[in-house]
Amino acid sequence: MRISAPFGSFLLAAFASVASGAPRTLKLRQSIAPPRNWVDLGPAPPTHVIPLRIALPQPRFPELEEHLTEISDPFHERYGEHLSKEDVEALVAPHPSSVNAVHEWLESHGIRKEACHRSPAGDWVTVRLPVAQAEKMLGTEFRMWKHTQDGDVLVRTTEYSLPAHLDKHIELIQPTTAFNRAKGQHTTFRFSPVPDVAPSSLSDDKISVEGSGVTVDPSCNTTITVSCLKQLYNAVGYVPKATNKNAIALTGYLEEFANFADLQQFYADQVPAAVGSSFDVVLINGGQNNQTLDEAGPEADLDVQFGLGISFPTPGTFYSTGGRPPFIPDANTPENTNEPYQDHKIPQVISTSYADDEQTVPVDFARRVCGEFAQLGARGVSLLFSSGDGGVGDGDPDPATQTCFTNDGKNQTKFIPLFPPSCPFVTAVGGTVHIPEVAADFSGGGFSNYFLRPIWQQVAVGKFLASLPKGTYAGLFNPLGRAIPDVSAQSNFFRIFFQGRAVHIGGTSAAAPSFAAFVALLNDARIAAGKPSLGFLSPLIYALNGVGFHDITAGNAPGCGTPGFNATAGWDPVTGFGTPDFGKLKDIVLKF
């Protein structure tokens, strides 16, 4: 299996041209319209090095998907029988004829096997080539493109070709036409300083949460702490027992560094027992671990502090992924030599708070990446992604500036889901605010245009769609698509320590690591009882049909010039099934 960092290194992949020494006619493989908001700066320097990744077909992938379906269904006799690394690699391995055809083609261009990097399953081949050579092999021209809003610069093309005889042997090559980038959800937009005095969690005037028997300190309505979330989600007093077998991971991109000193201040403030403990750091694709205080990242600090603070003392890992624009013409992109998910022992829960508009990702690439997530799920890993911060819109937190148009040159008005949250093999986490909880007005949700709704969603999502007045948002969304989010959690007023001071921060990027931490605690309970980790979560969540969750029935998340969808009884595309009741869920998952 090969996914190398939940989002940063998705955007690397690669080329095509002739084979067997003799030139062959090239056949157009993919062509796209110039994407919106990207300006052509001219030809890319011919000596600039591109790490091209070639995806070989996986003829046995349907078998992998069948295994995943069975082991993720809590009512199936195989529930929890996760596959081994070797099992997964065998199921995604390409046919030998594809391996030979691709290497013959590469060798015809002077690229020897020793210069290629193959994933353990052999389903990806990576080569580093200068632009001039890649252009010749792919029958294309790479150009520099600049994003008009944030100034990022990418080297991409709008089309590429391959020899016709390679059609059945190469599924895709990137980075060619993929203009998507790992964009953080809008923590920085919900950023405000707060007093250095921690809120009291000892008030006698508790808020009662109707129907749950839970009471919460009133200060949690203005400042969210680890204590608040444990109170609200019924996890007070739970002590992890399987810390030698269980683990959680958080991912970081865009030079977001999780600062050790900030974490210690956070622990002293909210989790005193954790003071002195830390986390492992794994560097991917040129990622760094800069500990200069002014280089600390608010997103990274948020993820690590709440992900590890809630699940303490469960061991934690931070994956720091490099590859951030802007493009520097005379600098080679660092080669990705670290494949953390190839290890036999990988964290049972991984949370990611980065995504991009689904439509910016070529559909074949999105499906291939989504399949990589299925491989992790089959190995017993729960993948959680924040659902976005633009309601039904394009991820822009300000509804007034959202651009909800298709990226195919037709400029049709559409709701814009995010990827990877739209992948059916991950669990998407939306946002709530306040106590009692209501939907956050920025909580991302909607329906994929790339992925059909999976069978485990049919009943819950079908019921929601049937409740919509006829014609509601007709043509603006795909009613047959995979629906998001699946669940939700608190997503604003989080008290973290950033660059040495206490601040408030928020966004669904706060909800995802928090929810992931409670999943880590559920895994702890199962592992301590001799059971396997939960793995791919969504089939279990939909099988429970809301049992073990606080249903959120108030609020909405506007976008694209509309009020968006409403939070309603049962599942809805704003908060999913709602927020977790850890105590109830723990009792439930111990029965399977």
Rg of the chain (C-alpha set): 23
**Both tokens assigned to 440:** 């956050």
Helices 298-311/508-528 angle, 10° precision: 30
Query: What is the 8-class DSSP label of residue 468?
Result: S
Q: What pLDDT was estimated at residue 201?
A: 45
pTM: 0.90
Is 570 among the annotated ligand-binding positions? yes
For residue 30, what are the β-bridge partners?
160
How far from 403 is each of 137, 239, 297, 411, 444, CA to CA, in Å? 36, 46, 27, 10, 15
| 8 Å CB contact between 4 and 285 | yes
Per-residue pLDDT of the chain (592 residues; tens, 9 = 90+): 333 333 333 333 333 333 334 456 899 999 998 888 899 999 999 999 999 999 999 999 999 999 999 999 999 999 999 999 999 999 999 999 999 999 999 999 999 999 999 999 999 999 999 999 999 999 999 999 998 887 888 999 999 999 999 999 999 999 999 987 766 554 433 455 554 445 544 446 889 888 778 899 999 999 999 999 999 999 999 999 999 999 999 998 766 888 999 999 999 999 999 999 999 999 877 677 878 887 778 889 999 999 999 999 999 999 987 654 444 443 333 333 345 556 668 999 999 998 888 998 889 999 999 999 999 999 999 999 999 999 998 767 676 777 798 887 788 899 999 999 999 999 999 999 999 999 999 999 999 999 999 999 999 999 999 999 999 999 999 999 999 999 999 999 999 999 999 999 999 999 999 999 999 999 999 999 999 999 999 999 999 999 999 999 999 999 999 999 999 999 999 999 999 999 999 999 999 9
| 8 Å CB contact between 574 and 445 | yes
Does 509 participate in catalysis according to the annotation? Answer: yes
Q: What pLDDT was estimated at residue 336?
A: 38
How many C-beta neighbours within 10 Å does residue 472 have? 12
Long-range contacts at 155-161 (CB < 8 A, ≥ 24 apart): 155/44, 155/48, 155/50, 155/131, 155/327, 158/31, 158/32, 158/33, 158/34, 159/28, 159/30, 159/31, 159/32, 160/15, 160/16, 160/28, 160/29, 160/30, 161/16, 161/17, 161/26, 161/27, 161/28, 161/29
Fold of the 187-326+348-589 domain: Rossmann fold (3.40.50)
Helix, coil or strand: residue 174: strand
Is 286 among the annotated ligand-binding positions? no
The one catalytic residue among 301, 303, 357, 389: 303
Continuous H helices in 399-530: 458-467, 508-528
What are the φ/ψ torsions at residue 368 (nearest 5 degrees)? -70, -45
Is 587 among the annotated ligand-binding positions? no
Continuous H helices in 142-272: 226-232, 260-270
Query: What is the 8-class DSSP label of residue 164?
Result: G
Task: From 395, 456, 439, select the one nearest 420 (Cα to Cα).
Answer: 395
Q: Which residue has the tokens 């050579």?
A: 133
For residue 429, what are the β-bridge partners?
386, 487
Is 551 among the annotated ligand-binding positions? yes
Integer Cα distance of 395 and 402 in angstroms: 8
Does 343 participate in catalysis according to the annotation? Answer: no
- Reported as a single tens digit per residue, the pLDDT across 508-539 is 999 999 999 999 999 999 999 999 999 999 99
The one catalytic residue among 72, 387, 509, 533: 509
Helix, coil or strand: residue 289: coil
Integer Cα distance of 436 and 432 in angstroms: 10
| 8 Å CB contact between 577 and 430 | no
Query: What is the 8-class DSSP label of residue 457?
Result: G
- By CB atoms closer than 10 A (0-12, 13-18, 19+), residue 248 is buried
**Both tokens assigned to 273:** 């027992």
How many C-beta neighbours within 10 Å does residue 238 have? 16
Integer Cα distance of 266 and 306 in angstroms: 9
The one catalytic residue among 89, 256, 299, 437: 299
Sorted by where each begins, the domain ranges of the chain are: 8-58+93-179, 187-326+348-589
Q: Which residue has the tokens 């709530």?
A: 432
Question: How far does Cα 427 stand from its chain's mean position?
Answer: 9
Does 303 participate in catalysis according to the annotation? Answer: yes
Integer Cα distance of 316 and 248 in angstroms: 5
| 8 Å CB contact between 443 and 491 | yes
